[in-house]
Amino acid sequence: MGRLTEDPAFRATTFVVIDFETTTPTGYPAQPIEVAALALRCLDGVWRETGRSTSLIRPPAFAPVTPADTAQTGLTAEQLEAAPAPAEALGALDRRLTAGTPYLLVAQHAATEAGIIHHQAEHCPTLARTDFLDTIPLAKRLIPNLPNYKLDTLLAHFGIPQPPDRHRALADVEVTAKVFLRLISAADEDPRLGGLAALVKVAGRTAKHNLPVQSGLFDM
């Protein structure tokens, strides 16, 4: 193992790869219809899965599943009718995070997942205050000159097979986790990434709920 994975802060952190499938109603932010998460920890130089979770989510009435959503994910309105509401599904995921444990969420294009969590923060307050690592800027640092940094491109680069249910949350989490581990392996050999702080500087994204609140210009 290299300098990054020998860093005590890195070893103390649980990395939670997360992905949402959504429907995007006009005039509203994206609404989750499925979530999956996979927790990973580097223990004694070996990556171990420490938990996983997946759930369908019933969207609100103003955000019905469209034919385009079904074409993308395979999920239908009928499948989601009996699914738990966001409060139940995201609350259950939130409660799996242990108080006092350092976490980082990991996502491909983390801005998307960060935005969904921010808008659902009342249901998942712990998730909403958990910062992110984004695989895209990390891949750009470690693998320059790819034609793009979409997930499918990174899968092809690393020779990771496309899952048959690509664009379902759990399948996407599992392959994103594989990409993340390949990137960490490369980062471990990069002298510029000698610890968790350096990794966060390159690929970190602060959760919106952790950003300072700016007072209005004329607030007294």
User: Mind spelling out the 3-state secondary structure of the chain?
Assistant: CCHHHHCHHHHHCEEEEEEEEEECCCCCCCEEEEEEEEEEEEECCEEEEEEEEEEECCCCCCCCCCHHHHHHHCCCHHHHCCCCCHHHHHHHHHCCCCCCCCEEEEECCHHHHHHHHHHCCCCCHHHHCCCEEEHHHHHHHHCCCCCCCCHHHHHHHHCCCCCCCCCCHHHHHHHHHHHHHHHHHHHCCCCCCCCHHHHHHHHEECCHHHCCCCCCCCCC
Q: Say what the pLDDT of residue 219 is.
A: 53
Options 3.30.420.10, 3.20.20.70, 1.10.3720.10, 3.30.1370.60; CATH for 3-210 is 3.30.420.10
Structure tokens at 38: 């996979």
Contact 167, 33 (CB under 8 A): no
Residues 172, 197: Cα–Cα separation, whole Å: 27
Residue type, 27: G
Residue length of the chain: 220
Residue 170 carries which side chain, given as an amino acid letter? Answer: L
- Token code pair at residue 85: 């509401």
**Domain ranges in the chain?**
3-210
- Map tokens 């994910």 to a residue: 73
Average pLDDT per consecutive 10 residues, the chain (220 residues; last block may be shorter): 89 98 95 98 93 97 95 95 97 94 97 97 97 98 97 98 95 98 96 95 95 61
* Other Cβ atoms closer than 10 A to 120: 24
Give the pLDDT of residue 216: 54
- 120: Cα within 13 Å, side-chain hemisphere: 29
The pLDDT of residue 44 is 85
